[in-house]
């Protein structure tokens, strides 16, 4: 078997695929004038507004890092803090109209680019890959940082 056709083990294959996805995500974010973390924040908020503690857990950010991220993103007019209707002492972060438009464009383009990564797979192989990755995500309770379009309200 030629070097370029070498079968990878699970660990190197997952790590390398993570690098591929992260590179596409970062490039797409840059083209939209976003950092990768801002892109993640916008994509998370597409589903619904979230409280700061929920966002911190989903994005795996310390409180201070999340506060800085939300502040920078709010200064650019993409998100805003609103009182949490369930707890007056807390706030939730919500997309602005400008942020929702940018999130939708960024999400659509990023999905298109990531969908090209397995372009060498046929329909059956793509379905198998999706099934296996879905199980991996579910079994490890991965946070919902990137939604399926039909999951959005």
Per residue in 105-148, pLDDT (tens digit) is 999 999 999 999 999 999 999 999 999 999 999 999 887 767 67
Total domain count, the chain: 1
pLDDT for position 150 = 56
Give the integer Cα–Cα distance in Å for 142 and 40: 14
pLDDT for position 78 = 97
- Enclosing domain of residue 116: 10-151
Determine, yes or no, domain membership for 45.
Answer: yes
Determine, yes or no, domain membership for 125.
Answer: yes
Are 41 and 147 contacting, i.e. CB atoms less than 8 angstroms apart? no
| Dihedral pair phi/psi, residue 62, rounded to 5° | -65, 155
Determine, yes or no, domain membership for 3.
Answer: no
Determine, yes or no, domain membership for 94.
Answer: yes
Determine, yes or no, domain membership for 2.
Answer: no
Determine, yes or no, domain membership for 1.
Answer: no
Q: Is the pLDDT of residue 152 over 70?
A: no
| CATH code for the domain of 123 | 1.10.10.10
pLDDT digits (tens, 9 = 90+) for 21-39: 999 999 999 999 999 999 9
* Residue with token string 């959005």: 152
Threshold 0.75, pTM exceeds: yes
Determine, yes or no, domain membership for 50.
Answer: yes
Determine, yes or no, domain membership for 5.
Answer: no
């Amino acid at each position: 078997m030629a070097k370029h056709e070498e079968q990878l083990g699970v660990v190197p294959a997952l790590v390398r695929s993570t690098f591929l996805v992260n590179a596409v995500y970062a490039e797409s974010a840059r083209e939209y004038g976003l950092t990768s973390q801002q892109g993640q924040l916008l994509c998370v908020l597409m589903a619904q507004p979230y409280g700061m503690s929920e966002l911190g857990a989903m994005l795996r950010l310390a409180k201070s890092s999340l506060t800085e991220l939300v502040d920078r993103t709010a200064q650019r007019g993409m998100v805003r803090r609103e009182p949490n209707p369930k707890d007056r002492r807390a706030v939730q972060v919500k997309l602005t109209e400008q942020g929702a438009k940018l999130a939708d464009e960024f999400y659509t383009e990023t999905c298109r680019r990531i969908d090209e990564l397995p372009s060498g797979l046929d329909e059956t192989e793509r379905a198998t890959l999706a099934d296996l990755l879905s199980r991996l995500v579910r079994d490890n309770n991965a946070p919902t940082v990137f939604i399926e379009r039909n999951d959005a309200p």
